[in-house]
């Protein structure tokens, strides 16, 4: 429908020449990732062989996608860029702000009412600047992008960490903060450190209960939540070509959970089938002409150890279904080990809810495979023991699965069909009784399962697994049920073994939809008025952040020393807070309220050094700000993992935090900090984290000499007057130091200096 074949043809027209040139420069066969990277260089002409993991490179992405929760801040910033229209095809998707409660019809109507102001804002900004607008209920951003916009060999960015989903169609699709998206929408280049490459060779073939989801659950278990940082994961092998395109999307999608920059697969028949089923035969025809450039050179996949920085091999024929969790997506347990593991760790065995959906697993194939399990339960008189909810990925999927009787099958089991939206995956779930904070277990097909994420209850143990396993576990009501070996008891007391799941990769009768929910922008949007009420509590126009005063930061107070896992959900919680995503002042009241304070191990309780009393983190930050005193946040490893939300960087910036000093960062968050004019620093000596004390005052000694590749010297002044000097590393290049000096990257764009 709404894709741009001319743009795609242009990309393909120059691809061969650029890739051939790059191959010569690099002097060896190229991986797929390198082909896409080198064919998207900003200046269009490969002249340097880049060093992986080291060189910053300017790229020219083909398109941008934003979702409602991050688009508000992205577009508020874009409005300051003084541009008439967006420079590359861009879409906005309304999917994060719809609460799951009573089912799609009522829930959507309520959201349209409660978030009217925000949807109207997004719709009018889209109209004004030439952005395609996908209305609430149209579906989840990444499913819609896969269905309409993704194409083999393309490069896109999106203001959501799961933008990477489009790797299922052979793209390099990368999650970024809104400020990065503003660069590209404004017609500027987009900068990324040339990634390292991890190869994953898939041998064998999926069968039985094992699904594409299990591949990424296994990879997450191997690589952990930070193992993919700074790398592109490229999948190949017979196991890759034999799986569906949406299955590939599932694998790439959850690559965000290992911190990977993105993941991708070479162009193959599964992609041809999917493109053609989604009305894009012309993309297939265009891609076929350059097919050899849309996959790695043959030598690479024949001898992968020579071309990738790291190689993993997984035999799909031996891979077991996995159940990952609780509280982190990289804690993998094969189904055969769950009985022991659950017992040993005292995880609640009873499954209360099974949820299928999220951008990761809400395709036609996912829904039909899960429904095949539900149908068996119905046919055999098995009463499901847990409650069940689904969120279809898009209106096109919902319409088609309704036509094909799949929704009716789910409903036979009392399933709640929620809106085509993120729903419980992002805490937009009005789960009855969650406020009692009882210890309980839920299973879902989502990608993230951080504490409190789905229902706000810190004692909910959320486990991630494939849609068909969610169905089986929810029907049995047990976390330790193994459908490969265990029988269920039906209403007559008989034992029933579930047969292996079955589902169509693509609908036999084709996809269908009445109203997909797309709104094209005005031809000439210059007359469109964008209204933001000054009294709104949902939206607030942005004021530029102050430029650096050119002096060393001195007398800064430690705001919080975060202990252990500190994801973007801990820094800027979602769920009920999503309503303030367009209002920086209001959303700042959630800053770091989920982070555990290393002193006292409590959340949202830090010492105000001015009064000596303990208070909430945002209130303490506001007190320092009011007194004109800078503050500093200290953190552990992989700080800021998870979401692309730049609120996690803008809130501290807004509340007067000057630097975030941690053991290591997640990629998107580190960039977000830089873009907003903050100092994102890492301990040169990791154990210096232990030197930070609760009453510390912090002085920067040589910030005036801030330069690339030169550590900064920091003085810690402890409460007893003793002093210690530590070094902080950083990854700022010249241009990024200019962002810091200007107060933010946007300040430079607005001044026409970027
Ligand atoms: C998420 O899955 O955490 C989100 C909500 O989609 C985020 C974006 C956001 O915070 O709005 C993401 O993954 O980037
Ligand atoms: Fe939405 Fe969840 Fe996907 Fe994020 S991970 S885009 S919240 S469905």
160 is catalytic: yes
Q: Which ligand is nearest to the CA of 645?
A: 1
> Which position among 80, 93, 96, 142 bears the catalytic label?
96
Verify whether ligand 1 is closer than 6 Å to residue 644 (CB atom). Answer: yes
For residue 422, which ligand has an atom nearest its CA? Answer: 2
pLDDT at 2: 45
Nearest 10 degrees: CA dihedral of 330, 333, 334, 336?
A: 180
User: By three-state DSSP, how is residue 277 classified?
Assistant: helix
CB 170, CB 294: distance < 8 Å: yes
pLDDT tens by residue, 486-499: 999 999 999 999 99
Nearest CA to ligand 2 atom 2: 425
Q: Report how far residue 61's alpha carbon sits from residue 10's, in angstroms, rounded to the nearest whole number.
A: 13
| 96 carries an active-site annotation | yes
Atom of ligand 2 nearest to the CA of 142: 6
Pairing type for strands 172-175 and 231-236 reads: unpaired
Which residue's CA is minimally distant from atom 6 of ligand 1?
A: 160
What separation in Å is there between the alpha carbon of 359 and the centre of ligand 2?
6
Neighbours of 734 (CB within 10 A): 9
- Beta-carbon neighbour count of residue 385 at 10 Å? 17
Rounded to an integer, what distance in angstroms lies between the CA atom of residue 335 and that of residue 349? 13
Give the nearest ligand 2 atom to 141 CA: 6
**Mean pLDDT value of segment 288-302:** 98
Instruction: Calculate the average pLDDT of the chain.
Output: 97
In this prediction, residues 580-597 reach a mean pLDDT of 98
Segment 322-370, tens digit of pLDDT: 999 999 999 999 999 999 999 999 999 999 999 999 999 999 999 999 9
The alpha carbon of 647 and the centre of ligand 1 are apart by a number of angstroms equal to: 11
Q: Output the residue whose Cα is nearest ligand 1's atom 5.
A: 426
Distance CA 167, CA 156 (A): 10
Instruction: Give Cβ neighbours of residue 422 (< 8 Å, ≥ 6 apart).
Output: 95, 96, 98, 140, 358, 359, 391, 428
Active site residue 645: yes
What's the pLDDT score for residue 556? 98
From the CA of 581, give the closest atom in ligand 1: 11
- Segment 671-681, tens digit of pLDDT: 999 999 999 99
Active site residue 95: yes
Q: What is the C-alpha separation between 474 and 468, in angstroms, rounded?
A: 10
The pLDDT score that the predictor gives to residue 4 is 85
Is the distance from CB of 223 to CB of 258 less than 8 angstroms?
yes
* CB of residue 70 inside a 6 A radius of ligand 1: yes
Closest-lying ligand 2 atom to the alpha carbon of residue 358: 8
The alpha carbon of 568 and the centre of ligand 1 are apart by a number of angstroms equal to 9
Give 531's pLDDT tier (boundaries 50, 70, 90): confident
Residue identifier of the C-alpha nearest atom 2 of ligand 1: 643
Evaluate if residue 79 carries a pLDDT over 70.
yes
* Region 538-562 average pLDDT: 97
Q: Which of 93, 142, 448, 669 is catalytic?
A: 448
Determine if ligand 1 sits within 6 Å of the CB of residue 642.
yes
The predicted-structure confidence for 631-672, as pLDDT tens digits, reads as follows 999 999 999 999 999 999 999 999 999 999 999 999 999 999
pLDDT higher than 80, residue 563: yes
Confidence of residue 1 (pLDDT cuts 50, 70, 90): very low
Q: 502-526 pLDDT, tens per residue?
A: 999 999 999 999 999 999 999 999 9
250, 235 Cβ separation under 8 angstroms? no
Summarised one tens digit per residue, pLDDT across range 159-211 is 999 999 999 999 999 999 999 999 999 999 999 999 999 999 999 999 999 99
> Which listed residue (62, 95, 366, 636) is catalytic?
95
Ligand 1 touching residue 372 (CB < 6 A): no
E strands present in 299-401: 310-315, 322-324, 332-334, 351-356, 387-390
Rg of the chain over CA atoms, in angstroms? 25
Section 699-725 average pLDDT: 98
Catalytic residue chosen out of the listed positions 127, 160, 214, 480: 160
Non-local CB neighbours of 56 within 8 Å, separated by 6+ positions:
191, 192, 193, 194, 733
Ligand 2, from 422, 641, 643: best to mutate by most atoms within 8 Å of Cβ?
A: 422
- pTM score: 0.96
Give the span between the Cα atoms of 43 and 728, in whole angstroms.
34
Q: How confident is the model at residue 749 (pLDDT cuts 50, 70, 90)?
A: confident
For the chain, the straight-line distance linking the first and the last C-alpha, in angstroms and rounded, comes to 35
Dihedral sign, CA of 596, 600, 602, 607? negative
Q: Answer yes or no: is the C-beta of 445 below 6 A from any ligand 1 atom.
A: no
At residue 750 the predicted structure's pLDDT band, cuts being 50, 70 and 90, is confident
In whole angstroms, give the CA distance from residue 648 to residue 646. Answer: 5
């Amino acid at each position: 429908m709404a894709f741009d074949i001319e743009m795609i043809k242009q990309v393909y027209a120059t691809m061969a020449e650029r890739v051939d040139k790059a191959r010569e420069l690099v002097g060896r066969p190229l991986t797929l990732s390198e082909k896409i990277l080198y064919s998207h260089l900003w200046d269009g002409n490969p002249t340097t062989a880049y060093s992986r993991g080291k060189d910053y490179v300017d790229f020219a992405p083909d398109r941008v996608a934003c979702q409602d929760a991050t688009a508000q801040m992205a577009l508020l910033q874009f409005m300051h860029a003084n541009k008439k229209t967006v420079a590359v095809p861009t879409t906005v998707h309304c999917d994060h702000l719809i609460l799951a409660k009573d089912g799609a019809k009522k829930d959507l109507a309520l959201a349209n009412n409660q978030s009217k102001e925000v949807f109207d804002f997004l719709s009018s900004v889209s109209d004004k600047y030439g952005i395609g607008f996908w209305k609430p209920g149209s579906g989840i951003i990444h499913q819609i992008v896969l269905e309409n916009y993704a194409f083999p060999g393309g490069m896109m960015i999106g203001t959501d960490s799961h933008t990477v989903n489009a790797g299922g169609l052979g793209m390099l699709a990368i999650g970024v903060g809104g400020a990065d998206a503003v660069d590209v929408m404004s017609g500027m280049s987009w900068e990324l450190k040339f990634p390292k490459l991890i190869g994953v060779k898939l041998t064998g073939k999926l069968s039985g209960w094992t699904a594409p989801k299990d591949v990424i659950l296994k990879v997450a278990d191997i690589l952990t939540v930070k193992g993919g940082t700074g790398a592109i994961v490229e999948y190949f092998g017979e196991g890759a070509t034999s799986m569906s395109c949406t299955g590939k999307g599932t694998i790439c999608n959850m690559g965000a959970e290992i911190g990977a920059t993105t993941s991708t697969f070479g162009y193959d028949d599964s992609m041809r089938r999917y493109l053609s089923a989604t009305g894009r035969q012309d993309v297939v025809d265009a891609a076929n002409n350059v097919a050899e450039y849309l996959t790695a050179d043959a030598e690479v996949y024949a001898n992968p150890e020579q071309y990738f920085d790291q190689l993993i091999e997984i035999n799909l024929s031996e891979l077991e279904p996995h159940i990952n969790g609780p509280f982190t997506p990289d804690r993998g347990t094969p189904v055969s080990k769950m009985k022991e593991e659950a017992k040993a760790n005292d995880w609640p065995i009873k499954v209360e809810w099974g949820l299928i959906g999220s951008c990761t697993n809400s395709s036609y194939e996912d829904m039909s495979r899960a429904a095949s399990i539900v149908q068996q339960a119905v046919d055999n008189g098995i009463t499901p023991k847990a409650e069940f909810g689904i969120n279809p990925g898009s209106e096109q999927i919902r319409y088609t699965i309704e036509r094909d009787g799949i929704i009716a099958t789910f409903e036979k089991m009392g399933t709640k069909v929620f809106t085509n939206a993120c729903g419980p995956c992002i805490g937009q779930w009005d789960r009855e009784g969650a406020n009692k904070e009882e210890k309980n277990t839920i299973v879902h097909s989502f990608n993230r399962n951080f504490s409190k994420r789905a229902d706000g209850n810190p004692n909910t143990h959320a486990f991630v697994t494939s849609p068909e396993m969610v169905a089986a576990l929810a029907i049995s009501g047990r976390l330790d049920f193994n459908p490969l070996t265990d029988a269920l008891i039906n209403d007559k007391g008989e034992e029933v073994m579930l047969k292996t799941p079955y589902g169509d990769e693509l609908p036999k009768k084709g996809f269908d939809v009445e109203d997909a929910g797309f709104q094209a922008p005005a031809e000439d949007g210059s007359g469109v008025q964008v209204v933001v009420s000054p009294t709104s509590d949902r939206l607030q126009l942005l004021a530029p952040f102050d430029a650096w005063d050119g002096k060393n930061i001195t007398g800064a107070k430690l705001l919080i020393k975060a202990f252990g896992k500190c994801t973007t959900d801990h820094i800027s919680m979602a769920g009920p807070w999503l309503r303030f995503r367009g209002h920086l002042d209001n959303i700042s009241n959630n800053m770091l309220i989920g982070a555990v304070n290393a002193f006292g191990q409590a959340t949202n309780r830090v010492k105000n050094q001015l009064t000596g009393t303990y208070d909430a983190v945002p209130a303490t930050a506001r007190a320092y700000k009011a007194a004109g005193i800078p503050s500093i946040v200290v953190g552990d490893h992989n700080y800021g993992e998870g979401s692309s939300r730049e609120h996690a960087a803008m809130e501290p910036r807004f509340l007067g935090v000057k630097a975030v000093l941690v053991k290591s960062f997640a990629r998107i968050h580190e960039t977000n900090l830089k873009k907003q004019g903050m100092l994102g620093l890492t301990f040169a000596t990791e154990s210096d984290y232990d030197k930070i004390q609760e009453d510390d005052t912090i002085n920067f000694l040589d910030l005036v000499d801030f330069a690339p590749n030169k550590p900064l010297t920091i003085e810690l002044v402890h409460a007893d007057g003793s002093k210690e000097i530590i070094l902080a590393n950083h990854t700022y290049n010249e241009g990024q130091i200019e962002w810091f000096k200007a107060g933010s990257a946007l300040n430079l764009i607005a001044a026409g200096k970027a």
